[in-house]
Amino acid sequence: MKQCSLFALLIVLPLLSHSALPARLVDGSALPSLAPMLEEVNPAVVNIATYTTVQVRNPLLEDPFFRRFFDVRPRTRRTQSAGSGVVVDAARGYIVTNHHVVDRADEINVALADGRVLAATLVGRDPQVDLAVLKVDADALVEIRFADSGDLRQGDFVVAIGNPFGLNQTVTSGIVSALGRSGLGIEGFEDFIQTDAPINPGNSGGALVDLAGNLVGINTAIFAPSGGNVGIGFAIPSNMVRAVMEQIIEHGEVRRGYPGVDVQALSADLAEAFGVDRTEGVVVVEVDPEGPAERAGLRPGDVVVKVGDRQIRRKSDYDSSTAVLFAGDEVALEVLRDGRPKKLKLSIDDSNSDRVSGRRVHAKLKGVVLQNFHNESEPGTSAGVLITEVEEQSKAYVHGLRAGDVLVAANRQAVRNIVDLREAAGKSRGQLLLRVYRAGEFGYVVIR
């Protein structure tokens, strides 16, 4: 048995980075260990405890008679949940975690590896990619180093660090199972790293690191048909984390721009139809009038093969590239038009002034053109989303939406801009409930 173990080590050791896995001697044999790397990285991973006040349903409150004649007050209770986070800026006290870890929390506490428990404030969040940034006031924090997630390859070794089930500083290891996972219906923008490193409830917001201890992703979700870990976990790539984090720290929110274009994956049939000798990329299907894409010169039928420095092979490549395009950005595009290469420059508008196709916000708003609305002098509403156009054959028109309407809430969630509307509308289950301001009055429209 000992000879077999030594033989296996002779095979494994050359495959692992000796700088990342320093060997230690056991019975005269060199054994690799993650311990030295983890001693540096673990202090940067924190436990996050959130507390939320929720209203307890009381049937008496639903009876007008009791509400009128009896003093039946709403009852509330406090709920607690746990997750993980990663210190990304020790000097300023910034911590990155998942949005769903701190969503609706009215109190957030952070427990450090050294035993300290700190009150944290929410700096900002981005539900579209499920990220949030917290801030704590503390000295002697340890931050994590960012890796370039674009360098990851299928088969690379990774380590997940977090607090599953409230068990502090738990470490699991595995490999990168796949890259660019999308279409899972978890978030608005999906470009996940898939790993078989065990990720369980409570790991959300924790670190996925390479063997050198550099951050390659933020653990965010698991595929668990049986309710437990089955070796399929997902993490947000570090490049996306860094870009979103910097936006939140600088602005308190993500000022994402909208290119104003719809695309679909390039197929062999489409490639032949458009005279393209490749089957990787995305085809421009529709260009919003007067939008950034139209001003850049994009046309329906163009095949986008590169956005900035990123090659576009799949639609998920395009989606993840546009997820980190922010107001004021300029990005180079490479497209194929009639089989010939063409270079364009896309300038991203501030979404506050950009007109957006309703279909890009929610499928039930197809045929609607939206624009952010702000008017302090308007009685009853000062901000929302203005409907500038509605196609008469659209479902939105049939259900009652009209040009000039201002959307102020969706699915009972207040809406002050297109970003809010996208988030609230994304929670639809079978129907979209809209609160509309029209001609000085409020009303509701339900689109099924």
103 catalytic, yes or no? no
CA distance linking residue 391 with residue 414, whole number of Å: 25
SS3 224: coil
CA distance linking residue 352 with residue 368, whole number of Å: 17
Alpha helices in 13-77 (DSSP H): 35-41, 64-69
Type and span of the H or E element at 397:
helix 395-398
Q: How far is CA 6 from CA 2, 3, 10, 26, 437, in A?
A: 6, 5, 6, 11, 74
Q: Which two tokens stand for residue 231?
A: 């070796």
Catalytic residue among 204, 238, 321, 357: 204
Half-sphere exposure of 348 (CA within 13 A, CB side): 22
* One-character DSSP codes across 118-174: EE-EEEEEETTTTEEEEE---SS---PPBP-GGG--TT-EEEEEE-GGG-SSEEEEE
Strand partners, 107: 51
Catalytic residue among 81, 84, 99, 130: 130
Q: Which two tokens stand for residue 233?
A: 């976990």
CA distance linking residue 255 with residue 267, whole number of Å: 33
CA distance linking residue 292 with residue 325, whole number of Å: 12
Please choose, from the candidates 44, 288, 211, 247, the residue with its C-alpha nearest in 3D space to the C-alpha of residue 128: 247
Centre a 10 Å sphere on the Cβ of residue 141 and count the other Cβ atoms it contains: 21
Asked if residue 315 lies in contact with residue 323, where contact means CB atoms within 8 angstroms, the answer is no
Q: Which two tokens stand for residue 416?
A: 């002050």
Half-sphere exposure of 89 (CA within 13 A, CB side): 14
377 catalytic, yes or no? no
100 catalytic, yes or no? yes
Q: Which two tokens stand for residue 310?
A: 């990123």
Asked if residue 425 lies in contact with residue 410, where contact means CB atoms within 8 angstroms, the answer is yes
CA angle 46/48/51 to nearest 5° reads 165
Give the residue carrying structure tokens 């509605």. 390
Strand partners, 436: 407, 443
CA distance linking residue 207 with residue 87, whole number of Å: 10
Catalytic residue among 81, 99, 100, 126: 100
State the catalytic residues: 100, 130, 204
